[in-house]
Amino acid sequence: SLYEDADASLWVKSPLQDVSTVVGYTVPEIIRENLGGWGHLPAFECASTGKIYTHDDVLRDSRGFAAALIRSGFKRGDVVAIVLPNVVEYPSVLFGIWEAGLIASPVNNAYSDEEIHRQLCLSDAVCVVAESETLESVRKSKERNPNIKSIVIVGEPHQGCHTFKEMANSDPSGVSLFKASASDVDTTTQVALLPFSSGTTGPPKGVELTHANLATNLIQCDPGKGISLIQTYSSGKTQERHVGLLPFFHAYGLSCLIHMSTYVGAHVMCMRKFDVDLFLQGVRRHKPTAFHLVTPLINHMVNSNNYGKNELAHAHTVLGGAAPIGASLIEKLLDKAGKYFFFQEGYGMSELSPVSHVLLPDTRNTKIGSCGSPVPGTITKIVDTDGTTLGRNQRGEICVKGPQVMKGYYKNEEATRNTIDADGWLHTGDIAYYDDDGCLFIVDRLKELIKVKGFQVAPSELEDLLRKHDKVEDVAIIGVSHPENGEAPRAYIVPKTGTQLSEDEVNAYLKPLISKHKQLRGGIEFRKSIPKAPSGKILRRELTDEYKSKHGQ
Ligand code: ATP
Ligand code: MG
């Protein structure tokens, strides 16, 4: 109808050539095809032990593991949970699950016993891959959960567990692995991955991603399509080197450091957890050509004297995303390196496999703070609270339609219906706007906007301003209830070591920079650290709960 046409003129698409749903490949198949003849090179290296897996090792082990899983009797569509830190075996475990036609559900390895138990139940896992550090929690869960048939242990053998190494060494011949070409396989409906969203705003939800969702998103982000400066082997350039610190269990780390890295034949230095010295030594030794960062890591690098031109010299690209970063932090990082790399911010969510936007390569860094354009094959729009489509420079909820939109939330039709509408638009819950050039700027989460009188205040905007202050090491803003204004912004500030910072100083600094309603009427609290999720997100909910319990609300 006329109305639909009027609406469509406001949609924003990728400036690059379209990509449609990738069929005919499972995720391991498309990765293997692109890898070409570079399998003998290092793929995953452990930063602490120096143990190296080549790309060929990854593929060989994944096939052996797949064959062993099938021989153990697991059937197509069974869920295997992975409760591992970033070990070098992680990619083989993941690909093995897929080559067996099973579904992988990655679990946060730092979760408590109860949290692990909850996800193992919610995901209906029948098998769990663990390692010595997570084994006890998994065992406790298995005692209470008869669904779990077996535990596979990565590393040293343990009683009562299958050993990954032995399984990986089994002979895949004679076993029919899961292939897209098989007549009974449909990659557009077959779920491959069942990650759980970060749980930043509520209990985590299981997100069903098909092989087609994931394979398509890989192609949508393909460096060869002009999306990034990263080289693929097939282009005959030098091998890319990445730091594998972002957790593999989260959408960002998994897509960039497992999918994309193996697709382009990169060498990833894996780190089990963040350690100031290990990270610095790893960076100095590995000389990354691209960094994959989240806000707390960028903040660390900016505030530490250890990161300068040398450490950042080999990087052509620094990628960031998963949470608001803010222009001031990005500029400080660029300054440290003498602006030689391209800062590429991306936007996405687990439900989007996970990428919907990236900033297209521009080594002059002219769009700092923007997440750029939709990736190829993706349509987006900004809508008002009443559903009207808005134009450029207008803030509203960003909605995304494309082949990377999830199949749905696992066993949660109601949540699926509330997120993906009848026309296939995924409502992200994030407030954003497009500038005149069609570049996206994320403002904040709809749920986290602070409502002061009639005005909306984005916590991330205040955080960005406060990060510019010389004495501020880290900061988080939440909304608290206020007798006259309804709500008011409240700041939690970590002052830099060796500095003194007072409430008056902070308020005086902000006063000329912001309008009245944005001022910190909810107060300021100084503290030692800000609670963060492993994906780098500020856990505002924890601060809010803490505030409420202290102030009896
Ligand atoms: P839950 O939905 O369970 O609360 P979550 O939304 O934190 O968890 P993820 O899927 O890991 O789980 O995160 C997606 C969210 O991350 C987006 O909705 C958005 O709020 C945020 N995000 C991602 N990239 C950016 C970015 N570049 N800038 C700002 N926010 C971002
Ligand atoms: Mg979410």
How far is the C-alpha of 171 from the C-alpha of 68, rounded, in Å? Answer: 8
Q: Whose CA is nearest to atom 1 of ligand 1?
A: 199
The answer to whether 249 and 106 are in contact (CB under 8 A) is yes
Backbone angles phi and psi of 283, in degrees to 5: -65, -45
For position 380, what pLDDT does the model report? Answer: 98
- Whether residue 200 has its Cβ less than 6 Å from ligand 1: yes
Burial class (CB in 10 A: 0-12, 13-18, 19+), 546: middle
Tell me which residue has its CA closest to atom 5 in ligand 1: 198
**Which residue's C-alpha comes closest to atom 31 of ligand 1?**
323
Q: Ligand 2 centroid to 209 CA: how many Å? A: 15
Nearest bound ligand to the CA of residue 195: 1
15 CA to centre of own chain: 24
C-beta separation of 21 from 188 below 8 A: yes
- Which stretch of DSSP H or E encloses residue 398? strand 396-401
Rounded to 10 degrees, the C-alpha dihedral 209/215/220/225 comes to: 170
Nearest Cα residue to 491 out of 384, 483, 499, 514: 514
User: ipTM of this model?
Assistant: 0.99
Rounded distance from Cα 503 to ligand 2 centre (Å): 33
Q: How far apart are CA 151 and CA 458, in angstroms?
A: 45
Count of beta carbons in the 10 Å neighbourhood of residue 379? 17
427 CB within 6 A, ligand 1: no
pTM across the whole model: 0.95
Name the token pair of 521: 């009427």
Tell me the CA–centroid distance for residue 349 and ligand 2, in Å.
Answer: 6
| CB of residue 357 inside a 6 A radius of ligand 1 | no
> By the 8 A CB rule, do 321 and 371 touch?
yes
The backbone torsions φ and ψ at residue 189, rounded to the nearest 5 degrees and listed phi first, read -115, -20
Residue 439: its pLDDT value, please? 97
Residue 5 has a pLDDT of 59
pLDDT tens for each residue of 195-211: 998 888 888 899 999 99
**pLDDT at res. 1:** 45
Q: How far is the CA of 130 from the centre of ligand 2 (A)?
A: 26
Percent residues over pLDDT 70 in the chain: 97
Which residues are within 5 Å of ligand 2 (an ion), measured at CB?
197
Which of 350, 416, 426, 448 for a ligand 1 pocket mutation test, highest count of atoms within 8 Å of Cβ? 350
Model confidence pLDDT, tens digit, residues 313-368: 999 999 999 999 999 999 999 999 887 899 999 999 999 999 999 999 998 999 99
- Positions of the chain with pLDDT lower than 50, given as ranges: 1-2
> For ligand 1, what atom is nearest to the CA of residue 460?
29
Residue nearest to atom 8 of ligand 1 (CA): 198
Q: Which atom of ligand 1 is nearest to the CA of 207?
A: 10
Tokens of 534: 């492993």
268 beta partners: 44, 242
Q: Ligand 1 pocket test: which of 107, 108, 198, 375 has the largest number of ligand atoms within 8 Å of its C-beta?
A: 198
